[in-house]
Chains A and B, each alone.
Chain A
Amino acid sequence: MRTVDVAIVGAGPAGISAALATAETGARTLLIDENPAVGGHLHWRISQTLTDNAGLPVATGPGPQVAAELETLLASFSNLTLSLNTVAWGLFEDRVLALASEDHAEELQADAIILTTGSTDIAAPFPGWTLPGVLTARAAQTFLHVHRVLPGHHWAILGEGEDADELAGDLARCGVEIVVRHGSVDNFRASGTNRLAHVEIDDDVYEVDALAIAMGRQPDAELAFQAQARGAFVRALGGYTPFRDLNGQTSEVGVYVAGDAAGIATLPELVAEGQLAGKAAAGASDAELTRAQGLLNTVANRPRREAIERSRLTDSLNPS
């Protein structure tokens, strides 16, 4: 079985930050992602890094450009290997990770594993939600910015908050019409024969050809739970999240979770959390860890920090 010092699953902003932190210590690092390029949501949430690099060690710019620069930076480390187009589908005892790509499958053992697997969209059902033309915000952003195809010209947006606002801005940028925005699934339905044609809100009918569900995102830490890490549903973190110690380590020794996978976060938080987990996984000194924890605290938003504090892994859970 192949072995590495640190394996990181998910090459979004948190995973990249973790990989750079471990690689800098000389640790043999493997960074895994199912997509053909590193960058994660920088590819579809393209406006986050336009004016602020959020602590990433590259210049500001549209997300895909930032991602490309980060990939160049990662490639400069001879002790860092990038495994793209590779799915990490299982995490077993003793930090054994199961990987699969189109022509290859293997098990791999790592001294430490960092899960930076991000989030998935929340999609509350409503009448008509399965019609073609109804899609998640993430699908909409992926088709607009990555594939460069318009799912429709006349849009409805369901949901309110930052994700809905971000999508509305993206749609406006792409020159399509936002016909209607609505906050919740109450008295809301989509209709059409074979494809979305209308949304109905109370007694009002709107003609649309695309509907994006932008009701927020939920953490995706499935691999950690597969490895028996303990966790709980924490509403303030967006869903079911693993308990973690100060550095992001779960109840499974040597298994870390950082970024959106540990609770929906802002980009600067993802970057700082990734760095901290990377340093801890690579065995950094207490002084260095204290510094990285301090950096995270300066960028962390208060509600998320408090929620994490409440779900903090105590010493009794993880004596190491």
Chain B
Amino acid sequence: MTDSGDSTVIRGRRLNDHELLGPLPDVEPVEITVDGQSFRARSGEPIAAALMANGIDICRAMPESGESRGVFCGVGRCSDCLMIVDGVLNVRTCVTPVTEGMRVETQHGLGQWEDSQP
């Protein structure tokens, strides 16, 4: 099973207007890459939110079954949303903010450290 494959990309997910909270405030946009492709994110938002807003729901594949995992608890407890971020494995993307130029990769199984690991 692959990480993109036949899963549907769901679009139009940024909640620009909110009945109780009003319009989404302007913030500095930042650019990140996900598996080599560039995406625009909102400065300060968690990686998982930026991914979801860009139609990406799959964060990693399980070590043995290869099954996909995405955001589950959304608050840094369950570890379903772990990804490789700037070469670091097992980053909780739901509670880690994006930064300019951040390199995010789908984590397959336990992942692999780069040669120049931190």
Contact = CB atoms under 8 A, between A and B. Distances in A.
Interface string A113-141: 00000001101000000111111101110
Contact of A193 (B6, B10, B14, B18): B6
Query: Is chain A's interface secondary structure helix, strand, loop, or mixed overall?
Result: loop
Interface residues of B, number: 40
A123 B80 CA distance: 14
Interface in B66-118: 67-77, 80, 94
Contacts of B1: 193-194
B20 A138 contact: no
Contact of A194 (B21, B68, B71, B75): B68
A62 B22 CA distance: 11
A149 B7 contact: no
B72 A195 contact: no
A249 B61 CA distance: 44
A134 to B, nearest CB: 7
B3 to A, nearest CB: 8
Contacts, number: 115
Contact of B70 (A132, A147, A148): A132
A148 B21 CA distance: 10
Contacts of B77: 120
B63 to A, nearest CB: 13
Contacts of A195: 7-8, 57-58, 68, 70
A148 B15 contact: yes
Most chain B beta-carbon neighbours within 10 Å: one of A47, A134, A139, A173: A139
A150 B71 contact: no
Given A47-B20, A143-B49, A195-B7, A148 B14 contact: yes
A46 interface: yes
Contacts of B21: 46, 62, 64, 145, 148
B57 A132 contact: yes
A130 B80 contact: yes
B28 interface: no
B19 interface: yes
A288 B64 CA distance: 59
B45 interface: yes
Nearest to A173: B19
A152 B8 CA distance: 11
Contacts of B4: 194
Given A64-B21, A131-B70, A149-B15, 17 more contacts: A46-B21, A62-B20, A130-B69, A132-B59, A132-B68, A136-B72, A139-B71, A143-B52, A145-B21, A148-B16, A149-B13, A149-B53, A193-B5, A193-B6, A194-B6, A195-B7, A195-B68
13 contacts: A121-B73, A123-B72, A132-B58, A133-B70, A135-B74, A138-B73, A139-B71, A140-B74, A147-B45, A149-B15, A149-B49, A153-B10, A194-B1
> Top 9 nearest A-B pairs by Cβ distance?
A139-B74, A132-B70, A147-B49, A194-B7, A195-B7, A148-B15, A132-B57, A150-B13, A62-B20
